[in-house]
A and B are shown apart, each in its own frame.
Chain A
Amino acid sequence: DSGVTQTPKHLITATGQRVTLRCSPRSGDLSVYWYQQSLDQGLQFLIQYYNGEERAKGNILERFSAQQFPDLHSELNLSSLELGDSALYFCASSLDIGGRQGDEQYFGPGTRLTVT
């Protein structure tokens, strides 16, 4: 158990819909990262938040957005869903104390999104 929680575990929805994925980081971790992993693919970095503020953006579509709340939990919003958005979405957290980005990342169990 990494200490990172993600809900829901599974999500099945239709094209065009909007969903929200939730992540709670390990206690004390300030950074939250979101990744997308399609079937048998690598990890595609989407976005990072540090202590409530957006820190870095990766290959995140304009239809996707995220935020980190004062209690440090994070939500990833996916809208106008397409079949190709079906994937495993991982959240990871790291300490990154003082703003450094050298710490190892602890991954949550992931949310499996299926768009039909």
Chain B
Amino acid sequence: GQQVMQIPQYQHVQEGEDFTTYCNSSTTLSNIQWYKQRPGGHPVFLIQLVKSGEVKKQKRLTFQFGEAKKNSSLHITATQTTDVGTYFCAGRDNNAGNMLTFGGGTRLMVKP
């Protein structure tokens, strides 16, 4: 079945440093979504990417969808303590029942 892997599992950064999490799918995706879960909270939708090679920005966050639509990345520039949380990617495969499969998440910790 479809698998979505995320690396790294954990990342500690100093406030002001950049951060990147990578998402890789075993199958070609129709689209990919990103979610953020703050400690003690619930996942919150951030963005959806649909097109091959698509790049979207939200302030300090840059999301990319690979050309082959099998990988994606989230890059945060100059992290802040408010960025703390777990970032999940979730990929949708048209050939796998079109279900959303979540990656294991990357837990970001930011030292002030």
A binds B: yes
* Chain A residues proximal to chain B, CB less than 8 Å: 2, 35, 40-43, 45, 48, 56, 58, 90, 92, 100-102, 104-110
In the assembled complex, the CB of B93 is this many whole angstroms from the nearest CB of chain A, namely: 11
* Chain B residues proximal to chain A, CB less than 8 Å: 30-31, 33, 35, 41-45, 48, 88, 92, 97-105, 107
Question: Which residues of the other chain, A, contact B35 by a CB distance below 8 angstroms?
Answer: 107
A109-B97 contact, Cβ under 8 Å, with A42-B102, A45-B102: no
In the assembled complex, the CB of A43 is this many whole angstroms from the nearest CB of chain B, namely: 4
In the assembled complex, the CB of B51 is this many whole angstroms from the nearest CB of chain A, namely: 13
Q: Is the CB of A102 within 8 A of B31?
A: yes
27 intermolecular pairs with C-beta atoms under 8 Å apart:
A2-B42, A2-B44, A40-B107, A43-B43, A43-B102, A45-B99, A45-B101, A45-B102, A56-B97, A58-B99, A90-B43, A101-B92, A101-B99, A102-B30, A102-B31, A102-B92, A102-B98, A104-B33, A104-B45, A104-B48, A105-B33, A105-B43, A107-B42, A107-B44, A108-B42, A109-B42, A110-B42
Q: Is the CB of A42 within 8 A of B42?
A: no
Question: Which residues of the other chain, A, contact B41 by a CB distance below 8 angstroms?
Answer: 109
Besides the contacts A45-B100, A92-B43, A108-B42, what 8 more A-B pairs have beta carbons closer than 8 Å?
Answer: A2-B42, A2-B44, A41-B104, A43-B105, A45-B101, A102-B31, A104-B45, A107-B35
Q: Is the CB of B100 within 8 A of A105?
A: yes
In the assembled complex, the CB of A82 is this many whole angstroms from the nearest CB of chain B, namely: 23
B43, B48, B88, B98: which contacts A101 (Cβ < 8 A)? B98
